[in-house]
Amino acid sequence: MDELNLRVYGLDDAADTIPLQTLLAALVSAGYPVTLATGITGEASEEELASGDWDAAIVRWMDPEMHEVALIERDRVSESEVTRSVIAGAIQDVANRFGYDPGGQAIITDHLRKTTVVYSVQMLPALLVNDEHAAWGALDVALRCIAAQADGLISVPGEGYCDADGELVLAEEEEMDYEIGFADLEEEPEEA
């Protein structure tokens, strides 16, 4: 799981049974020309789409030609030390970078501690090289669909945590950038 991934931290114990067809239906009904795959080639079969038993899915964009835009991985907290480490890192990150909002910080920390499943969305090169790619909007739909199904919170690096409706629950603190020139350091204090 990469630190720059978009993530959904899900609470629902049944969250790990979200069938891929639910995700695909949300994307297609929003008008996105996508297909999902569970393997390197081809599309997911009807059985794979109907099953809630999956660990990874590739989002393939079909227009103008087929290309892969994202990889969605699902990890159950009870089965993965790496996922538990990701959650511990997220809790630490909230403590270090969101301290200006203690109420929001407490809500997110509590949610992270109760998380049972983590969905990680990795953007693939087709998206990373094209800020205007329509699949960016599709990722928003996918994240909201997963968050709604999993009673989850969406983590967006550089922005913060959102609910399933896309409403910001806790925004990242803006880093203060102070510029101090050498002249400022060399000035003598004024005498009173």
Number of domains in the chain: 1
Residue matched to tokens 């629950």: 169
The answer to whether residue 119 is domain-embedded is yes
Residue 18 clears pLDDT 70, i.e. is over it: yes
Residue 189: pLDDT above 60? no
Give the CA count within 13 Å in the CB-facing half-sphere of 121. Answer: 27
- Residue range of the domain that includes 165: 6-172
Give me the pLDDT at residue 188, please.
52
Whose CA is closest to 7, among 125, 143, 166? Answer: 143
Is residue 164 one of the residues assigned to a domain?
Answer: yes
Tell me what pLDDT residue 165 has. 94
Assign 53 a pLDDT band (cuts: 50, 70, 90): confident
Residue 63 lies in a domain: yes
Residues 174, 130: Cα–Cα separation, whole Å: 25
Is 54 a domain residue? yes
Residue 45 belongs to some domain of the structure: yes
pLDDT at 123: 94
Pairwise pLDDT comparison (154 vs 18), residue with the higher score = 154
Where does residue 158 rank: exposed (0-12), middle (13-18), buried (19+ CB within 10 A)?
exposed
> Does 143 reside within a domain?
yes
Q: What is the tens place of the pLDDT at every residue in 61-94?
A: 998 889 999 999 999 999 999 999 999 999 999 9
Alpha helices (runs of H) in the chain, residue ranges in sequence order: 20-29, 46-50, 81-97, 102-114, 125-128, 135-150, 182-186
Mean pLDDT (the chain, rounded) = 86
Residue 152 within a domain = yes
- pLDDT for 191 equals 55
Residue 192 domain flag: no
